[in-house]
Amino acid sequence: MTKVTYQLADGVALITVDHPPVNALGQVVRQGLWDAVARFGRDDTAQAAVIIGAGRLFIGGADITEFGKPPVAPFLPDVINAIAACTKPVIAAIHGTALGGGLEVALGAHYRIATRTARLGLPEVTLGVIPGAGGTQRMPRLVGLDAALTLMTTGKPVSGTQAQAMGFVDELAGDDLRADALAYAARLIAEGAGPRAVTDLPFPAADADLIAAWRQRLTRTAKGQVAPLAVLDAVVAGIERPFDQALAEERRLFLSMLDTPQRSGMMHAFFAERAVAKPPEILGIASRPLDRAGVIGGGTMGAGIATAMVLSGLHVTLVERDAAAAARAGETIARNLASAVKRGTLTETARDAILSDALVTVVGHDALSDADLVVEAVFEDMDAKTEVFRALDRVCKPGAVLATNTSYLDVNRIAQATGRPADVIGLHFFSPAHVMKLLEIVVADATATDVTATAFALAKKLGKIGVRAGVCDGFIGNRILSHYRTAVDHMVLDGASPYAVDRALVDFGFAMGPYQVSDLAGLDIGYMTRQRKAADAHPRDRASVFADALYHAGWLGQKAGHGYYIYDADSPKGRPDDAVTAIIETSRADLGLSSRDFTAAEILRRTMAAMVNAAANVVADGIAQRPSDVDVVFVSGYGFPRHRGGPLHYADTVGLDTILTDIREFAAIDDHFWTPAPLLEQLVADGRNFASLNR
Ligand code: 3H9
C-alpha cells in the first residue's frame, strides 16, 4: 500500500502521509516522501507543494520500532534536506500532532501552517535520544537558543497558537486545514514568494557563559540522563560549525544515543504504557456509560478524585457526612482548580463553568441515584467501607459501577457487602489524585468484564495510566513497596544511615529516597501499616523499632516539620538530624545489634534485589498480568527512574542470575527475609528473562 500520495490541486502538489496509526516515518514513508519530493521537482504543473497528514495527526515522529536495527536509506535527514532544497515553496500543514521527526519534516519545509490546537514538539529526550534529523540545527534558528533548548531538553510540546507566537509556525488554520493550506499556497504563489530554507537564517550566537549555565542546569535537572546534555552538544556544534558539519555531528550524537541502555529503558516504558492499556480480557468489550460520577468522602483523596473527574468533563456529585464536611470538600476542589488556572492548564471561564454546572457537594447517598460510576474514598476500615457499599447497593441505579479506592483492603469482601458484586471494582488512585498518573484497577473475583472495561475507559478519560491488578494486600505497587521498604529498614538496623540510603537511591535516579517519601506521606501511615500487620507477624520478622520511636516522638514527617529530616525556613526540602541518628543508634543498641558500613552500591543491590524478588512473586501470583505492568506501576506511581525502564526491565539489564546470586548471598545471613522467588529461580534455570513473559 502507498503510504505517501501525490495529487495535484489547482497548481499545488498535495503530498499526503497516510500511514496509520501515527504516520510514523518508517522506511516506506521516508521513501514515499523522497519520491514525492522528486516528482514535485519534475512536475512543471505544480508551483508549490503542501505536505499534510491523513487521519488524526500530521506525523508522530520517526518509527521508533526501527530503533536498534540497522538504519535503511533514505535516511530522514536526507529526505528533509531534499524538501528544504526544493526550488519551489513547500508548506507543511499540521494538525493533531507533529512530534520529533514529524516536526523536523515541517522545519525542513519553507512555510508552516497549523491548527490552533495542534501539538508540536521535539520529545526525543523522553525516549532517550535527541532530535536526529536537523531539529537541533533548525529550531534554534527559528526561535532562538533558550526557547529551542527548552523545547528539546524537556520534550514538552506546545500548541499551534504557542508555536506561532514563538516563531516556528507562520499561519494558523481554521477548521479545514487542507483548504486553508491550499489557500495559503495559492497566496504564496500569487505573491511570488519563493522557497525559504530555515538554514538560510543565521544560527544564534552564544557566549561560553550561556552554554556553561545551560550545562550546569541540565546536569542538575537531567538526573543522570545523557540525552539532554547531548542536545546541548549538538546545539554547540551549530554555534561553532557550518550547517553541514553540525548536522553530521547531530546525526553522530543521535546514532550514539540509540545504543544506550537509557534509550532502551525509555522505549520499554513507552511501549509498556501502551500495552498496559489493553488487557486481553477487555478487547472488544464495550464499556458502560460514563457521564455522571459520584465520589464518597471529601478528604484529600476524595476531593482529588473529584477534581480529576470534573477536569475531564464528568459531572460529579460528592457526598460527605455533614454539611460542614461537604463545604470543606467543595473548598478543596475549588483550590485544586485554582492551581490549575494558575498553572495555565484551565481557563477561568472553564473553572467557573465546572463549579457552577459540573460539581455538587452534598450530604446523603440518595444524590447518587443517577450516577454511572461511584468511587468510595472513605477511611481505610473494612466496616466503614462495607457500610458505604450496602448504602450504594440500595440507592444506585442498576448497572452503576461501584468502585472502592482502598489501597490494600480485600475488594472481594467489599463486593460481597452488595447484592451486585459483578458491578464492584477497586480503583486505587494515588495522592494527589488530580496530579498522579497511576491508577491501579483492581479486578475482584466477581467483577464483570464490562466493569473492568469501564474502569479502563475512565482511566483514559482522566488522562491516567490504568494498570490491571489482582486482589491482595497492597495490590501491585504497595505490596512490592512494603517488601523493599523492609529491606531498607533492615539496612538501617544493621548500620546504614537513612540519609545514605536516600542518597544512593536518588543517585540511581529515584525522584525521592524511601525516608524522604516516609516524611512526605507521614510517619503515621507506616506506623499504622505495621500495627495492622503485627498480628500476622512471623517471629523472625525484624521490627522497624527506630521508625516506631520516631512516630512516638511525634516526628511525623513534613507535616510536623520533623521526621527523618528537619523542615524549616532554612531547609524547606529537609536536612538530616543528629537526633534521628541518635534514636537509630539507641534502637540498635537495645536490640544488641552491631553496626557496619554499607556502600551506595550495596544499598542499591539490596534494594533492587528486594524489589525484583517481590515483583516476581506479584507476577507469579497473577496480581500483575505482565512484568511490564509492574514496570509501569513503578515508573508512573513510585518515582522509579523512567530511563531505567522499571524494576523488571532493569533486572533484565543487570541479569537475573546476578540478582538471584545477590539474594542467595543475602539469604546466607537472613534466610527468612531473603527467600528467592520461585519464578526468578525458574527464569534463571531456563536462561530466560522477564521480557520473555511480556505478551
Ligand atoms: C524521532 O522522531 C527521532 C528523530 O528526531 C530522528 C530520526 C532520525 N513509532 O500513543 P498511541 C504506536 S523519535 C512507531 O496509543 P495516541 C504506539 O505504540 C520519535 N510506533 O496513540 C501504538 O501502537 P499499538 C519522536 C508508534 O493517539 C499506536 O502507535 N516521537 C510511534 O494516544 C498508537 O499510539 C515521539 O516520541 C512511533 N513514533 O498518541 C512520539 N508513536 O496500537 C511518540 C506511536 O500497537 N508517540 N506509535 O499499541 C506519541 O507520543 C503518541 O503515540 C502520539 C499519538 C501523540 C503520536
Domains and CATH numbers, the chain: 3-256 (3.90.226.10), 290-469 (3.40.50.720), 477-694 (1.10.1040.50)
Check residue 1 and give its pLDDT.
64
Handedness of CA 423, 429, 433, 437 (dihedral sign): negative
Active site residue 124: yes
Q: Which of 439, 381, 434 lies closest to 409 in space, CA to CA? A: 381
Q: Which three cell numbers stand for residue 44?
A: 512543471
C-alpha span between 455 and 451 (Å, rounded): 6
Task: Judge whether 298 and 360 are in contact, CB under 8 Å.
Answer: no
Q: Which of 587, 564, 543, 571 lies closest to 499 in space, CA to CA? A: 564
Query: How many CA atoms within 13 Å lie on the side-chain side of 640?
Result: 28
- Core vs surface per residue 165-204: b (16+ CB within 10 A) or e: ebebbbbbbeeebeebbbbbbbebbeeeeebebbbeeebb
19, 22, 69: which to mutate for ligand 1, most atoms within 8 A of CB? 22
Ranges of the chain with pLDDT below 50: none
Q: Which residues 6+ apart lie within 8 Å of 207 measured at CB?
A: none
Residue of the CA atom closest to atom 32 of ligand 1: 274
Q: How far is the CA of 451 from the centre of ligand 1 (A)?
A: 28
Identify residue 83 by its one-letter amino acid code.
I
Bridge-based pairing of strands 171-173 and 359-363 is unpaired
Grid cell 509501569 in the structure block, residue = 632
The SS3 call for residue 494 is coil
Which of 124, 320, 376, 440 is an active site residue? 124
Number of H helices, E strands in the chain: 28, 19
Q: How far is the CA of 148 from the centre of ligand 1 (A)?
A: 22
Grid cell 507476577 in the structure block, residue = 619
Check residue 526 and give its pLDDT.
87
Q: How far is CA 259 from CA 130, 133, 227, 249, in A?
A: 12, 17, 12, 16
C-alpha span between 401 and 290 (Å, rounded): 9
Q: How far is the CA of 18 from the centre of ligand 1 (A)?
A: 15
Per DSSP, 288 falls in state P
| Burial of 479 per CB tally in 10 Å (0-12, 13-18, 19+) | buried
Check residue 108 and give its pLDDT.
98
Q: How many residues does the chain have?
A: 695
Residues with CB under 6 A from ligand 1: 21-22, 24, 60-65, 76, 97, 99-101, 104, 123-124, 127, 129, 131-133, 135, 254, 271, 274
* Continuous segment of H or E residues that includes residue 379: none
* Continuous segment of H or E residues that includes residue 116: none
Q: Which three cell numbers stand for residue 217?
A: 542546569
The SS3 call for residue 159 is strand
Q: Which atom of ligand 1 is nearest to the CA of 130?
A: 5
Q: Walk across the sheet containing 90-94 and list its strands.
A: 4-9, 12-17, 48-53, 90-94, 111-115, 171-173
Q: How far is the CA of 462 from the centre of ligand 1 (A)?
A: 20
Q: How far is the CA of 139 from the centre of ligand 1 (A)?
A: 21
Q: Which atom of ligand 1 is nearest to the CA of 271?
A: 18
Q: Which residues 6+ apart lie within 8 Å of 242 measured at CB?
A: none
What is the per-residue pLDDT across 135-157, written as a single tens digit (0 to 9) for each? 999 999 999 999 999 999 999 99
Which of 104, 250, 376, 440 is an active site residue? 104
C-alpha span between 408 and 537 (Å, rounded): 17
C-alpha span between 320 and 464 (Å, rounded): 25
Residue of the CA atom closest to atom 43 of ligand 1: 60
Task: Judge whether 309 and 439 are in contact, CB under 8 Å.
Answer: no
Bridge-based pairing of strands 438-442 and 424-429 is antiparallel
Q: How far is CA 197 from CA 188, 250, 419, in A?
A: 15, 19, 69
What is the per-residue pLDDT across 617-655, written as a single tens digit (0 to 9) for each? 999 999 999 999 999 999 999 999 999 999 999 999 999
Q: How far is the CA of 612 from the centre of ligand 1 (A)?
A: 29
**What's the maximum distance between 2 C-alpha atoms anywhere in the chain?**
91
What is the per-residue pLDDT across 544-572, written as a single tens digit (0 to 9) for each? 899 999 999 999 999 999 999 999 999 99
Check residue 539 and give its pLDDT.
86
C-alpha span between 465 and 278 (Å, rounded): 11
Task: Judge whether 432 and 304 are in contact, CB under 8 Å.
Answer: yes
Q: Which three cell numbers stand for residue 399?
A: 448497572
Q: Which of 19, 109, 270 lies closest to 120 in space, CA to CA? A: 109
Cβ neighbours around 570 below 10 Å, total: 7
Check residue 595 and give its pLDDT.
93
Q: Which atom of ligand 1 is nearest to the CA of 270?
A: 18
Active site residue 331: no
Q: Which atom of ligand 1 is nearest to the CA of 102?
A: 2
